[in-house]
Structure 1
Amino acid sequence: LIGEPYMVKATGIDPEALVQGAIRFAPTSGGIFIDMAIHDIDLMRWFLGEDPVEVYASGATFKHPEFKAAGDDETGVAMYKCKSGKIGFVHVGRTAPYGYHVETEIVGTEGTLRISPVPEKNLCMIYDKDGAVKECVSGFPERFAEAYLLEMQEFIDCVQTGRKPEVKVYDGTKSTQIAFATTQSYKEGKPVAIAY
C-alpha cells in the first residue's frame, strides 16, 4: 500500500517513573544506543530491506545529570544512511513524563504507515477534571504482551516441527554492529562508516 519504503523513523522513550533504575544501570549499560535502540535498528533494517552504511548520532541531558556523570545521556538521536539512499532515524530516551512511548513511521513512495503515534493504553476515553484523557501505556510488558506471546508460540512451533526460525543469529549480530557504530559516532561527534 505504501510502495517501496525509503525512510523509517522510530521512537522509543522509557517512562520517567522508571528513570532511577535507568540511572543505576547507566554506568554498565553500554550506552543509550546499545541499551535502547537495538530493536529499532533491527526494525529499520527489516522495513528498509537494507543495512545502513553510515551513521551520525548525538545525545543530550537536561533533567538528570547522573547520566552525564556515567558518560551517557538521557536522550539520543541517530540518522542512518543506506547505500541506495534510504534513510533511518532513531530517537530514544529515558524520561517520557506520561508513560512508555514507542512509535514507528515507515515512509514509502506511495504513502506512509504511522504506528502508535499516541502511546494509548486502550480505546477508552476518560472524561474527568483533567478533560478528555486517554491513558498511556505504563511499560514494555503491557505494550508488547501480544508480541511476547507470538514470539513464544513461534519458538514452540519451531521446536515441535523442527523448522528453523526466519530470524537468524546474523540478524542480531548485524544490529549489534550497527549499534556499536552508532555509539562510536555519538562519542566521537561525527559520522561513522559502518563496517560489516
Structure 2
Amino acid sequence: MTQAHTPSDPEERAQIVFALRSCGITDPRVLEAVESVPRRLFIDRAFRARAAEDTPLPIACGQTISAPSVVGIMTQALAVTPRCKVLEIGAGSGYQTAILARLARRVYAVERHRPLARAARELIERELDLPNVTIMAGDGTLGLPDQAPFDRILLAAAAEDVPRDLMQQLRVGGIMVLPVGQSDDIQQLIRIEKTENGPVYSELSPVRFVPLLEGVAADLD
C-alpha cells in the first residue's frame, strides 16, 4: 500500500497561502505573516499530517485551532499596522498570536485554559523569534484594562453580544474583529470600527467558534 503524501513544511505553507488567496486574502503583509509561521508547530502530533488542510483541528483542553482561511479573513479585517498594540482573546495554541506578532508592535494574548497559555508561550519562546508577545492565563471577557487602550482587538471565541469591557478598551479609531452568535448556531464574524460617532459594524462571513466564557478554566495541569 502506498502511504499518503505528507507535505513538507514549505509545501504546507504554500498550500495554506494558496487557500488564503482563494478566499480573497490579498494583503501581502498578511500572506507573508501566515507563510512565516509553520502551522504544524501548533498542532498535536496526531494531526500534523493535516496541517496544510483548510480546516479546524482539535487541540488540547477541548479547543480547536481555526482553519487557515478563517485566520486569514480575521487578520486581514483587523488591518494591523506595525504601530499597533493588539489584544487577542482566546490564544488557544498560539497560532493566530504568532501571526499577529509578525504584523504588530505588541501583542497581548489571554487564554482561559492555563495549560494552553503555558504551552503557547513556551512554543513561541522556543521556536519563534517573537519578543513582542505576552501570553497569559486569564478571563478574556474582562480584557486587560491595565494595558488599555488597544489599537486592535481580536476574539477567537463567540460572544452573544459585543463585550462592553472590551469595547471600552478599544481606542477610538481602533478595530475589533469577533464572532457573534449563540454557540449552537452558525455565528457571524463581524468587524467593528470604533469612531467618535459610535461603532461602525461590517459583516464578514459565517463561522463557528467555541463560546466566549467568563472566568479561568479549572484545568488539571
TM-score relative to the length of structure 1: 0.28
Higher relative contact order (CA 8 A, sep 6+): 1
**Which has the greater radius of gyration?**
1
